[in-house]
Structure 1
Amino acid sequence: MTTLITLYFLFAVPAAGGPARGWAAAPRQDPRAAGRAQGRRRRREQVRALRSRARCSPLSSTWARPPPSAANGRAEPSASGKGELAALGTPPVVSCCVPRVLVPETGVGGSRFPDEGAMSARRALKAVLVDLSGTLHVEDSAVPGAQEALKRLRSAPVTVRFVTNTTKESKRDLLERLTGLGFDIAEHEIFTSLTAARNLLEQHQVRPLLLVDDKALPDFTGIGTDNPNAVVVGLAPEHFHYEMMNRAFRLILDGAPLIAIHKARYFKKKEGLCLGPGPFVTGLEYATDTKATVVGKPEKTFFLEALRGTDCAPEEAVMIGDDCRDDVGGAQQAGMRGILVRTGKYRPADEDKINPAPYLTCENFPEAVEHILKQML
């Protein structure tokens, strides 16, 4: 009897705090898993503590760096020998919950420039850069009212310069076209991308394969082209055929630099928009896995060269043009203000394609001049 009672308690009665024998036993907890869980909880608590401290930490725009040594101007190495890492300093604690947002001043047309009421804080306007094709004229037709508007602009105490990416004709032919349309313009006032390209060729003393319109060749008089070791691409519809493009392709593969007079995507003719040299330059870049050197708009150096001799800083100048990227965007990246006109190659909503947006968008050149005379002088 005693044996039966003992067996009953061993197999039928559950042990204190545990399951009955013969049932599926509860899995035992691995002490290593418990340790890992505790570690995760500890790390979460540390992260919460760091975030809490960051909310109260001041924002810093630069990292603290140790002073350079007088001997070599570089940070002294740390005791551990990790001088380069020590020179970087320690980054500040920045709150991810309280970002510092730089809000630009907004002005006419939603640009980053201030409205007229704040213009007095800027330097006085000294120079106006004016695009030609699409802004003053479209081929042999002047923009209505542009001649009279230019006369009014010249009466103001500002220097006027004309900047263009045109590669369809030489500067002299372009001047004849403009004077024939009734514009009072001198040759020395025109700065073209052809001039910028010639300057680069002379500087590096290379012999170019010139993919430009035959009417533009006079601007390269004196530049040797035998046995070319460079490729220059402008607008050359008659030369953009397979044989010539393949010749340029092979020269670039052999190491010749690719020079783009500009990379405009399209331009305006009377019958509509037409392909510019940009797509052909991009094709050569893609095929040769190289990058072209661009000399015309929207390059910053082009705008700065156009201001040479005017005694004018970029922030004292404004650019007027019909190309949101090459005219306005390039000028504003160089530090100028940009006025976009809705003539020439302008397309609806072009002003939304660049950042910062144009300082101002006008219907045409006369309206832009009106704004300059009334609001910017």
Structure 2
Amino acid sequence: MNATTAADPTEPPIRIGALAPLSRPGWVEAGRHLIAGAELAVEEVNATGGVRGRRLELTVRDTAADPQRAEAAVTELAGLGVTAIVGEYHSVAARAAAARADRLGVPFLCSSAVLDALTDGPTDWVARLAPAQSHAWRVYGDHLLAAGHRHLAVAVEPSVYWAAGTALLRTAFEQRDGVVSEFDARALDLTAVARSGATALLLLCGFPDPAVPVVRAVRRDPRLAGLLIGAPAGQPEFAEWAGLLGADGDSVPFLRYLPERPGPRQARVESTLRQRLAAAPSFVAFEGHDAVTVLAGALRGHGADRATVAAGWSGLAVDGTRGTVRFSRVPGVGVRQWAWPPVQVAERDPALPDGFRVLRTG
């Protein structure tokens, strides 16, 4: 990072809100990574002159993956005078936040939630960095089909997000004469899974519970030897997965949103975040960093007025850690969408401690 004139400390800061799951039942590790990436980006912007000479100031609120808490946080942040809001990992919380931001007229740049229907209809107030679920999960389904899987078992919990994922997989498999069988993740009948003839079991459920107990049970059941376990929502990306499951958590394909080879910007950010997190930063940390970087680009180009920021999503082209971010309208997606960030199907490599191998890109 090149040294330059710092932001003017006498000027009032531009306040930005940030949403993340920082307590249970939210995925706390994902929330920590998201905020670490966002905070680093704020520091970088401020150290290189800020935005039009003004510092950025981040105000963080915990959603705990709760839609009502997410709505309340957006209302509070709007009242505090934030120019825009970034973040959120869980789709159900992000959807609630997006709806409230749309009603209040506050720009919301969603970093990490993938549910296609993030809003009920088209809006200019909301933009998104993460790929739509229909795009990323199609890549995942293509990987399974190419590997010869024609019958999936899915261990599902009730949720609009998991239901959407199940529907996407069912459509993809039935179009190619495949089968998807649903099972209750919280009362999983391993005998029924074994009898189903499925060659892969996907975890469409919360972490660590019930995902971790399901993986342990499957790994120890001789009737399910050779059954592939998959986690399209990305649970194996995080150190907590490896810490709880050890070798049982290896060779579980999941989705992550990183380029196959990191560029210089990503490598620099990764080095700093690794020190701060005392662990390898996940793709969610880069999404948090990119969200603030992109918002800073919007503020430089359009000023700190909420309406002009929202109106300017479509004209942006900002270099982030994972590529140049541009927003467009995508059929079936009501928000301004980056189409598309890089997508990987990856898994933890049994031969490399804390290492991953990429199985497919899309």
Q: TM-score if structure 1 supplies the norm length?
A: 0.34
Higher strand share: 2
| Greater relative contact order structure (CA < 8 Å, 6+ sep) | 2
Q: Whose radius of gyration is greater, 1 or 2?
A: 1
